[in-house]
Chain A
Amino acid sequence: MIKHPLCKYTAFVALILIIPFVLKGSYLINVMVFVGINTMLAIALNLLLGYAGQISLGHAAFFGLGAYLSGVLTATHGMNPWLVMVAAAVGVGLLAFVIGFPILRLKGHYLAMATLGFGIIVYIVFNETVDITGGPSGLSGIPNLKLGPVAFDSDLKNYYLVWIVTLLVVLLAVNLADSRIGRSLRAIHDSEVAARVMGVNARLLKVQIFALSAVISSLAGSLYAHTMAFVAPASFGFNFSVELLTMVVIGGLGSIYGSFLGALLLTLLPEFLRFLHDYDIVFYGLLLMVMIMFMPGGLVRGIPALLRRMMTGRKKGETVDA
């Protein structure tokens, strides 16, 4: 297995670059664009949940805010999309920073409830401010992004655009996880009181990571709005927050590449279950349960363990390294 972080990252970049050639001309390129967006979102949530140990059931709200800010300001007000994207990320980050202080004081199920409440309030605002957001039937006419003479108007171009940003987010997250901040976060995860005693400003650090997580989600939202050219509130509801949570856990808590695997699996799965027609939902639910049972550490730990077991022919009794 590849151990060094830089080798791992290079391998990952290579994989992402090869994919368009493998999938040439297929609609799956389009699906892979959304895998990229979901990877960013899963990483954002993983930083919060897997590293700092803080649950969020309302992350779709930050995603939605980014998407709607980009959508409304470019489609309705004709502003520069790149500028808006940065401004939206900053704005959403600030919002998260401000609400982070009271929200992250809460623990356990109270935290779950508060983030869920925040998500639902934002969702209702998307629905009700019809004059601004277009209401439940959505906002269309969002322009594609342009960079000089290049317009990002095809699946392939969007694939590169989204994945360049995603790869940067992956790089940032991997470095963050290995830094002093990452270690402090894990300390908070294990015991906040102990971390505080050791001189970690736990409260500020939690809020900062919450804000960073919101910034990444907002970026993903802006990219989503420009590639879809359309946004509707239904994409940013409670269900999507839960789906993100599932991606993170199925992929592997506290693993950046795990978040990619989780996003990849849950985004592609519906495509491969399509032949089951109405039965796909049953299979989907069953698969989630079975995966947790057999890969409690997520795909990122479960797949290598599975491969090892297959290669060595050994059975149980081995410990799986994290």
Chain B
Amino acid sequence: MEQILQYSLSGIATGAIYALIGIGFSIIYNATGIINFAQGEFVMLGGILTFFFLDILQFPLWGAIILAVTGATLCGLLFERLAIRPLAKATPINLVIVTIGGSILIRGLAMLIWGKDTHSVPSFSGDNPIAIGSATLLPQHLWIMGITLAVICLNKYFFYHTINGKAMRACAYNPRAAGLVGIDVKRMVLLSFVISSAMGSLAGIIIAPLTMTAYDVGVMLGLKGFCAAIIGGMSTGMSVVVGGLLLGVLESLGAGLISSGYKDAIAFIILLLILFIRPQGLFGKAETERV
């Protein structure tokens, strides 16, 4: 069963991506109470903008990555300003539909600008496999794990040790109370879109060398990220990371040991069972509803 190691490592690398995307979902959910269906599109933008700056405009790799994150973040900022802020008083379900419309719009524009083809992006440091015991990984996998770890640490620092981060947490608990103590809630919502689009695009960039990129890669990745966020109880910390890794490893083990056709179904059945046994989520505490 030396294959188990390979399955697990592959699963962890994929899961790290889900986790990064998932945290983006959580941040927006906590700030606004909406599920942002456009989150996957920021992931797509990260990958496709890197391709654009690198291949078409001939920037060096690192320059292209920085520009891609900047570009996607700008899109996130614009999206909040043009579509979310004007609807400050809308119901959550209406906002969800707006994000669905937004994701269709962003995907459509990307298709018109960059075409329907898949594009490749080079690995950050070569393609020579690295042996870890009986398993092998690519240098890119290490980049994925490393960057995810770094982002999580930064995230932790931001939310617990900076004034803006603390203010955002306050908004998540109770926006009205936060407003009363002088926190600019609108600014925090904007900030949440900026952070999650930046994180989403970063996820899209580091995975692009392995999976290539195209205008429509965001849908599936967004869905998986959403699941990771739910398993983690929509928190912005470690539990979403655990959620992402769990999903990645379950899929990988399911594909290797049981059935590759049913691997997503296996992962979802396990998730459903978890939810049935613990309706408040894997990490959530049971809450009493205030009437």
Contact = CB atoms under 8 A, between A and B. Distances in A.
| Chains A and B bind each other | yes
Interface of A: 49, 55, 102, 105-107, 109-110, 112-114, 116-118, 120-121, 124-125, 127-128, 191-194, 238, 242, 245-246, 249-250, 253, 278-279, 281-282, 284-289, 292-293, 296
Interface string B73-108: 000000000010011001101101110111111111
Closest 6 CB pairs of A and B: A288-B101, A285-B105, A285-B104, A281-B108, A282-B108, A289-B101
Given A102-B276, A113-B227, A118-B272, 16 more contacts: A49-B93, A102-B275, A106-B279, A110-B280, A120-B265, A128-B265, A193-B289, A194-B291, A238-B223, A281-B104, A282-B105, A286-B101, A292-B87, A292-B90, A292-B94, A293-B83
B93 A193 contact: no
A296 B90 contact: yes
Chain A at the B interface: mostly helix, strand, loop or mixed?
Answer: helix
* Residue with the greatest number of chain B CB neighbours at <10 A, chosen from A192, A249, A253: A249
Q: How large is the interface on B (under 10, 10 to 19, 20 to 34, 35 or more residues)?
A: 35 or more
Contact of A117 (B98, B100, B103, B272): B272
A124 B112 contact: no
Contacts, number: 117
B105 A293 contact: no
A242 B100 CA distance: 8
Contacts of B250: none
A292 B291 contact: no
Given A282-B105, A289-B105, A296-B90, A110 B97 contact: no
Contacts of B280: 110
A101 B65 CA distance: 48
Contacts of B93: 49, 55, 249, 253
B279 A105 contact: yes
Contacts of A193: 289, 291
B97 A109 contact: no
A12 to B, nearest CB: 25
